[in-house]
Chain A
């Protein structure tokens, strides 16, 4: 039969959401934190951001080219990985280390496992943890020009000093490029919630757990607030832990993931060898994710067929 009509299974209309515009939303939501990082840390922050994004995109592009896989750089997910990794690095990091970290995140963590949607752990987080262990320079945090302290707030806190809460909230303290300004991260988080890209469950469970656990141990509200405004908690809880591929799909699963990550973060921060535990916490929960998914299925309406 000669028919020019398309035949396909229903539905015949699709929503406007696609992978690319979801990734674009994530990039837009990270712009306030990126801008804050550039204002606080200056030109070297720009260099790190540009280097990481370029290295991430180029390594994914070349990888696909070499193994003759369909090109996927247009979906913008490599840009997200590069940007997230950059925001988790100190501004004074040598650029060659930033390149190696980005290539590691994209090629080893993402492409080797099958590309977008197939990675087992979050590429940016894993890239950061790799760099933390491989390069000593990661421990040397950068500081804003007008920073009052020469130690990161978590180090200050471990020594019994409580930094100014407003300064912490705005981000005028030492740390990675994109992690210091809680205000900028919150603006991005609200954007993601409003656009329906993420749901509240995971970030609220994560930050809430860190808050309650820290308060229970420290017993002081100001100290507790200083803890949750410090380090990578907000960027981790809002932007890294919520990565679709490596976090649970159901609300119950997201809550469990958030609580688990919160507990591990506090354990590392207060009793571990590292001042900060967000990356390790998310990485560990990434590994547990398949189990959480298994434990938290949605209930089938009407149950199974009798």
Chain B
């Protein structure tokens, strides 16, 4: 590849690097929302009063892109409530009261996998979704014609500040990753596996190199620690040199990209048959007393996880699902840890508020740091003027909302927010144009 894509140098703040994960005590209740993945929400199959064990199916997937949900504690279904999600949507959530016993479901057994179809079905049943944060149902990625797959890319970049849960997966769960790779190589005929890791994760790189030495298909690619190295299109380009066209998927250039923790969870499921019920997450941020990596049952309220980490130094001003660059701010500390949560961060009041927005000085930093060459200033102008063509030209379709532009902007302008608004406006303009066309 000729050039590296642009990006920004971030403070790493990997305060929890190379510390062992600590399992949290079982919470009294867990809340399992039906929309912990991209795609159609799952549909509850339990009733209030039903007894469930760890790993019991509580909601079945609904449609081609969806994912089932399993009980993360043993106990009784207490309620099925309508819950407000961070995206503003209201969805049902199954609330389970724990009996404290954590009894595994007796029906759980390792799946039998002898071909691609059975492997895909096993991954579907595991309830695993993209654990790097995206939450795309993982099985869908493998429901493909194996001839089209040239390379499987394992995303171990972990380019967001603070988060170390993926590094921990690579150092602690290499065996499970290797098991999953073996199954994928056998049943999908994958001959090339590339593990991409940022160069600031020395122990993860060492461990993955051991894995690569034992498996001739696997190679480790060390990448500069430049954000957003872990962005799917960025990673594919920097590991294979292939450019994924706008609006296309990695498979269109012969690649499948899977997060390293997702891979480890596949390995674990194939070995034990226990679906995705807990998650190792990084708990950090300036308001957290004792930052650490915690193994948490899915559905545990954030406030309980923070309490497990010594509570807060001061009342937090902002709490996030995920990293500080792409994470989502939550309004309520009772929000549960989701399948695709890789970190929860709490910031003090000082870090909670961005600096004052001032006039654009046309320094071009946003434009020159965008990995994809989007011109945020032109996009902002096009959006304000409602000019769909100019929005398209400035790159509204290409934006992955990585946040480099807004991070680097000396005038503190809300550029990601603008890009998001522009995307919606462009979609609406296209729909309106199409409607007009159809009426003719």
A11 surroundings in chain B (CB, below 8 A) = 324-326, 403, 406-407, 416
CB-contacts of A16-44 with B (<8 A) = 17-19, 21-22
Interface of A is mostly: loop
In contact, A6 and B392 (Cβ under 8 angstroms): no
A10 at the interface (CB under 8 A from B): yes
A116 at the interface (CB under 8 A from B): yes
A13 to B395, CA, bound (A): 23
A13 to B163, CA, bound (A): 14
CB-contacts of B370-389 with A (<8 A) = 370-375
B332 at the interface (CB under 8 A from A): yes
In contact, B246 and A302 (Cβ under 8 angstroms): yes
A194 surroundings in chain B (CB, below 8 A) = none
A22 to B409, CA, bound (A): 11
**Least Cβ distance of A15 to chain B in Å?**
5
A212 to B215, CA, bound (A): 58
CB-contacts of B340-391 with A (<8 A) = 347, 351-355, 358-365, 367-368, 370-375
**Least Cβ distance of A4 to chain B in Å?**
7
A298 to B333, CA, bound (A): 42
B401 surroundings in chain A (CB, below 8 A) = 10
A22 to B368, CA, bound (A): 17
A262 to B414, CA, bound (A): 37
In contact, B407 and A14 (Cβ under 8 angstroms): yes
In contact, A300 and B332 (Cβ under 8 angstroms): no
Q: How large is the interface on B (under 10, 10 to 19, 20 to 34, 35 or more residues)?
A: 35 or more
**Least Cβ distance of B10 to chain A in Å?**
7
Known: A6-B352, A19-B361, A245-B362. A302 touches B248 (CB 8 A): yes
In contact, B318 and A12 (Cβ under 8 angstroms): yes
A118 at the interface (CB under 8 A from B): yes
| Contact among B329, B392, B411 for A304, CB-based, below 8 A | B392
A14 surroundings in chain B (CB, below 8 A) = 354-355, 406-407, 409, 412
Known: A244-B363, A245-B362. A12 touches B410 (CB 8 A): no
**21 pairs, A vs B, C-beta closer than 8 Å:** A4-B317, A5-B319, A6-B353, A8-B414, A9-B417, A10-B324, A12-B327, A12-B329, A12-B354, A14-B354, A17-B408, A18-B410, A22-B361, A77-B361, A250-B364, A297-B375, A300-B374, A301-B243, A301-B372, A302-B248, A302-B372
- Chain B residues with CB under 8 Å of chain A are 5, 8, 10-11, 161, 233, 237, 243-248, 315-320, 324-333, 347, 351-355, 358-365, 367-368, 370-375, 392-393, 395, 397-398, 401, 403, 406-412, 414, 416-417, 420
